Chains A and B, each alone.
Chain A
Amino acid sequence: MKLDPALRDQILSAVPSLRAFAISLSGNVDRADDLVQETMLRALANIHSFQPGTNMNAWLFTILRNLFRSEYRKRKREVEDTDGTYAEQLKSHPEQLGRIEFEEFRHALAQLPDEQREALILVGASGFSYEEAATICGCAVGTIKSRVNRARNRLARLLAVDNVDEFGPDTATRAVLAGNDR
């Protein structure tokens, strides 16, 4: 197939954010990259249904989100067990965060229900408006708002508890978890 070069560029430039979304959602780099690849294949196969002039990023995020929710949800338990692989697989982890802090945040994020996690990422990191996030998730704007709020509160509780335990017996548990890469 021959793709309009403008569309091709738009898809390619969306890849870094699609990966960030997929990795943040699934917590696993390999699985996320498969998800991004599948998203690109679906996008190319359905490129005729993309309306030029509309938001390509939002369109691609919708495809990825739906793929994640349909296929990857089944493997949710498995994904959550892969604690530790994520940080190791990433070429770099955020410089402004300590490793333990980064791991704790990731771990807390993974404990959120899918719908809260996706809403928080779309609004809090991907930079979509509540309206755009609602379109991507196929729900009402108010629903997105309440999911984002619940996600933030849940994370705050999880991370507040972690801080209290910083030097407690949990540190040993965490070290074991961090060393377990499967």
Chain B
Amino acid sequence: MTEKKPDKSHVTQMHTAPSAEKAHTGLNREIQVKIGQQLRAMYDGIVQEGVPDRFAELLSKLDKPSEDEGKAE
């Protein structure tokens, strides 16, 4: 039992070379930051276009009493 422990850790170390993993994590973090920036840049670019006329018009058209409602009152 006590003999197996060092063996196991040795095997683990071989599978995950610490330096390589660290480099990979670093690269991944860099890409993650970039993904976040790109996503927000894309999204905010659209938000900044504001409200296209068709939607303002649609809302004011719908936000009026219809002819029928006017007659009923």
Contacts and interface: CB of A to CB of B under 8 A. Distances in A.
Interface of A: 1-3, 8, 11-12, 15-17, 19-21, 23-24, 33, 36-37, 40-41, 44, 90-94, 96-97, 101-102, 105-106, 109, 120-121, 124-126, 152, 155-156, 159-160
B36 interface: yes
Interface in B42-58: 42-52, 54-56, 58
Given A15-B55, A36-B55, A37-B54, A91 B38 contact: no
Contacts of B35: 105, 152, 155-156, 159
A121 B43 contact: yes
Contacts of A93: 42, 45
Contact of B56 (A3, A12, A97, A124): A12
Chain B interface mostly: helix
29 contacts: A1-B63, A8-B63, A12-B56, A12-B59, A16-B50, A19-B47, A19-B49, A19-B52, A20-B44, A20-B47, A24-B42, A24-B46, A37-B55, A40-B62, A44-B62, A90-B45, A90-B46, A91-B49, A92-B49, A94-B42, A96-B37, A97-B38, A97-B41, A109-B39, A121-B39, A125-B44, A156-B31, A156-B32, A159-B34
B65 A16 contact: no
B59 A8 contact: yes
A129 B7 CA distance: 45
A124 B39 contact: yes
Interface residues of B, number: 34
A36 to B, nearest CB: 7
A125 B63 contact: no
Nearest to B36: A124
10 closest A-B pairs by beta carbon, nearest first, are: A125-B43, A94-B41, A20-B46, A156-B31, A94-B45, A105-B38, A16-B47, A15-B51, A3-B63, A20-B43
B22 interface: no
A12 B62 contact: no
A48 B38 CA distance: 38
Nearest to A18: B55
Given A20-B47, A24-B42, A120-B39, A33 B63 contact: no
Given A1-B65, A24-B46, A94-B44, 6 more contacts: A12-B51, A19-B47, A36-B55, A37-B54, A37-B55, A125-B40
Contacts of B54: 33, 37
